Amino acid sequence: MNKKEILKRINHRVQNTMTSNIGIEVTDYDDNYICGKMPVDERTIQPWGLLHGGASVALSETLGSIGGELKAKQNNEKVVGIEINANHIKSVKEGWVYGKSIPIKVGRKIQVWETKILNENDDLICISRLTLAVLKVK
């Protein structure tokens, strides 16, 4: 199966979940990264009109979890998030933000993914680290 078809399946799989409800779309992946985008609109802003920190965390966890699942699936395993942290560096009022997650550690029991979220001007908006537990599929 080619990359385009896999991306289509990933984005179809998240339909009718929080991921699709806030407009997150996975746009690219490789063995060493996974990328996505999210709109800054009425679904993702807080009452003061800025990108909600929770939306940034949702983008980070979505990308890291899907990236982790792509790696775990190779061994008939799955991943679940057990810890995430985020530093919100700069605010955004409109447009799109773009996330790129890279694996820091892919072990037999734990994976750690780092996500950087940038705005349309390539300014750093948020940096996050996600820890995933690797579980056997039953």
The residues that are catalytic are 61
Q: Are 132 and 82 in contact (CB under 8 A)?
A: yes
Residue 78 contacts by C-beta under 8 Å, 6 or more apart in sequence? Answer: 69, 72, 134, 135, 137
Residue 58 has phi, psi (to 5 degrees) of -65, -40
Structure tokens at 92: 């955004």
Alpha helix (H) residue ranges in the chain: 3-13, 18-21, 53-73
